[in-house]
Amino acid sequence: MNSLRIKILNRSGAFFLLILKRNPCKMNPLLQHFNTAPFSKITAKDYKPAIKEAIEIAKKEIDAIVQNTSAPSFENTTEALDFSGDKLQRISSIFFNVNAAETSDEIQKIAKEIAPWLSEFSNDIMLNAPLFERVKTVYEQRKNLELNPEQQMLLEKQYKGFSRNGANLNNTDKTSLRKIDAQLSQLSLQFGENVLAETNAFELHLTNSTDLAGLPESVCEAAAQLAKQEGKEGWIFTLDFPSYIPFLTYADNRELRKKMAIAAGKKGFQDNAFNNEENVLQIVNLRHQRAKLLGYKSHAHFVLEERMAETPEKVFSFSNDLLAKAKPAAEKEFIHLAEFAKKRDGIDQLEKWDGAYYSEKLKKELFDLDQELLKPYFQLENVIDGVFKIAKNLYDLVFEEVFDIDTYHPDVKTYRVTGSNNAFVAVFYADFHPRKGKRNGAWMTSYKSQYVKEGINERPHVSIVCNFTKPTDTKPSLLTFNEVTTLFHEFGHALHGMLANTHYTSLSGTSVPWDFVELPSQVLENWCYEKEALALFAKHYKTGELIPMNYVEKIKESASFHEGMQTLRQLSFGLLDMKWHSEDPSKITSVKALENEAFAETQLYPDVPENCMSTSFSHIFQGGYSAGYYSYKWAEVLDADAFEYFLEKGIFNKEVATLFKEHILSKGGTEKPMELYKRFRGQEPKPEALLKRAGLV
């Protein structure tokens, strides 16, 4: 099989013919040369051999870099490393996208088998000492190499990729680092398992129908079904979000809301085998030790080095600035809500389990807007057409539906995207409706990223996948307003991918820091609220009548309802996250005490002593959001500030759109995001636009 590998690497037609002759039954479509993904030719059994083969190809490419007898140079090392593994990248993107959008038991089983192959492969690269030697040699000469900013960024990113994984450490420290990493992955796994066990251990079993007062029928039905599954009478509510959130929002029975809220707040904080206090302390201490070992002041310093925010100081000043501006509004909203609850039900002290319930009641009183009234104005086809028109107005893009591109399901639509002078820009896939085998939610992804190689600008293949209301025999697909903004959001990510114009894959399109990646998506959502944009597509599917603007005004107002309290809540989580990760944690003995300290400035409701947030804060102790929770608000500040510029000059202003395209959408991660942003906007982002949009000033 060795010759096969090398020949495929050459990508020469003649060699393929040769293989065809020699191996007529073993043609794996994934290992042939293809342009768009050859979905209809692929069967599940093709994936494993193809990925195995592609890993071998990538290893050979890396070996060739290491064994190069010429002195390390930017071209033969930095650039060569970035272009390596191209085949593996393309095959695994097809596989993982299919696993998300059109999976099966067989595909899921394969995913479990290949995940360790891929992590082993990337670990091998990270631990490849001779490879790092070459990367480092180039890095140390960087001042004399006359590199352009993109090349400098590639070199820096690559070098950091190794050094942040310990490549510069001596052997003893390397061993310590591996030990810490192993402990950390064990601990976060344990943390997550404990949260899950606690979530599953609790249920609220009701047998009296009066206790269901206030709850929507669909929620009760689901609860009845759950009870039935467990062979019980009545209704069962759990701490899973689809059960818990509606219960806290709608259940009239205050005692039961309290019971649910306290049970949820206790996760990982009870005197039992699933207590997470010790895990939290161990995780933050190990993260701190790891950061110190690598030469950073704290875990937050380590994480933020690669973010737009760059330092903990910046995150703190950003959060505290926003806090100072949002807090008066939040306090006013809280007093108003407390008065409402007092007047309505004689509540003397508003507690945590009252917030969602009375907010919902108040919101209904203030803006009673039936989603069903809006839907006829948002027929899916019209909304897609609208988003395409907006892309044409802003960026001269033309979307032409084509029928000669292979797809993984007949529902998937394909488009050829061209720009000014008819130049080919991208292939765009859109997969809109739910079906068995597709996971929930909506996402943007790509099958091929943009890059320039040997003078050829390889254009990307970008896809969005959603789960929108399906058409019926009598009605077309009519979207809720939330689905409309979701489509715009994902399309904004897609524009970032499609308009990419960089040299290197690892810096292309959406390959940008975490706290910057939501700018293109969130900014596009703003067009959904503007009359001038809605006029392009929000027309009644039967009568063609344009959506009444008072509906839109109501949507806008209700979207910023209780924004002050929401902001305070988000900031409180972000500040707690930073508190855990920006200081030396070795002296901390009480999780709850540290938490109270972190929450001091953001607390509106009385503390519940038997509850603790950190012990089930999976975002930061299980997932990858440590020292990153702030980025939710950060991204909102960015998108509001960017859109403010469009509002000043006109939402279809070509000049602003061109600046956004030139400096943000096409640039990917080729330069520091703050530099790119300033070049677009002429200044650093300010929170004022967000505060204004949210009605806080």
Residues designated catalytic: 490
Residue written as tokens 């959008």? 101
Q: How far is the CB of 432 from Zn ion (least distance, A)?
A: 17
Residue written as tokens 């299919």? 98
- Taking 3-state DSSP, the helix, strand and coil percentages for the chain, each rounded to the nearest 5, stand at 60, 5, 30
Contact 518, 512 (CB under 8 A): no
Q: What DSSP designation does 13 have? A: H
φ, ψ at 238 (rounded to 5°): -125, 180
Picking from 464, 523, 477, the residue whose alpha carbon sits closest to that of residue 378 is 477
DSSP assignment string, 404-448:
-S--SSTT-EEEEEE-GGG-EEEEEEEE-S--TT--SS-EEEEEE
Instruction: Count CA within 13 A, CB hemisphere, residue 179.
Output: 8
- By CB under 5 A, the count of residues binding Zn ion is 1
Q: How far is the CB of 493 from Zn ion (least distance, A)?
A: 6
Q: Hey, what are 687's tokens?
A: 């929170």
DSSP assignment string, 634-675:
HHHHHHHHHHHHHHHH-TT-HHHHHHHIIIIITTTTSS-HHH
Q: What DSSP designation does 450 have? A: -
Q: How far is the CB of 561 from Zn ion (least distance, A)?
A: 22
Site string (464-503) toward Zn ion, x via CB under 5 A: ----------------------------------------
Q: Considering only residues 516-575, where is the footprint of Zn ion by CB under 5 A? A: 521
Q: How far is the CB of 542 from Zn ion (least distance, A)?
A: 33
DSSP assignment string, 313-359:
HHHHHHHHHHHHHHHHHHHHHHHHHHHHHHHHH--SS--GGGHHHHH
Q: How far is the CB of 509 from Zn ion (least distance, A)?
A: 13
**CB of 188 or CB of 521, closer to Zn ion:** 521
Q: Residue by residue, what is the 3-state secondary structure of 125-186? A: HHCCHHHHHHHHHHHHCHHHCCCCHHHHHHHHHHHHHHHCCCCCCCHHHHHHHHHHHHHHHH
Picking from 284, 299, 306, 300, the residue whose alpha carbon sits closest to that of residue 188 is 284
> How far is 96 from 107, CA to CA, in rounded Å?
9
Contact 557, 528 (CB under 8 A): no
> How far is 396 from 654, CA to CA, in rounded Å?
10
Q: What DSSP designation does 233 have? A: S
Picking from 303, 178, 314, the residue whose alpha carbon sits closest to that of residue 625 is 303
Q: Hey, what are 8's tokens?
A: 């495929």
Instruction: Check the CA dihedral 569-479-558-547 and report its sign.
Output: positive
Largest CA distance in the chain: 84
Contact 680, 641 (CB under 8 A): no
**CB of 161 or CB of 509, closer to Zn ion:** 509
**CB of 478 or CB of 499, closer to Zn ion:** 499
Q: Considering only residues 210-229, where is the footprint of Zn ion by CB under 5 A? A: none
Neighbours of 402 (CB within 10 A): 12
Contact 307, 313 (CB under 8 A): no
Span of 102-110, 345-353, 515-523, 659-667 interacting with Zn ion by CB under 5 A: 515-523
Reduced to 3 states (helix: H, G, I; strand: E, B; else coil), residue 491 is helix
The total number of residues shown for the chain amounts to 697
Q: How far is the CB of 281 from Zn ion (least distance, A)?
A: 33
Instruction: Count CA within 13 A, CB hemisphere, residue 137.
Output: 15
Q: How far is the CB of 488 from Zn ion (least distance, A)?
A: 11
Q: Hey, what are 612's tokens?
A: 């603790």
Residue in the shown chain whose Cβ atom is closest to Zn ion: 521
**CB of 58 or CB of 519, closer to Zn ion:** 519
Reduced to 3 states (helix: H, G, I; strand: E, B; else coil), residue 108 is helix
Q: How far is the CB of 518 from Zn ion (least distance, A)?
A: 5
**CB of 443 or CB of 599, closer to Zn ion:** 443
> How far is 138 from 627, CA to CA, in rounded Å?
31
Picking from 225, 211, 220, the residue whose alpha carbon sits closest to that of residue 256 is 211
The residue ranges that bind Zn ion (CB under 5 A) are: 521
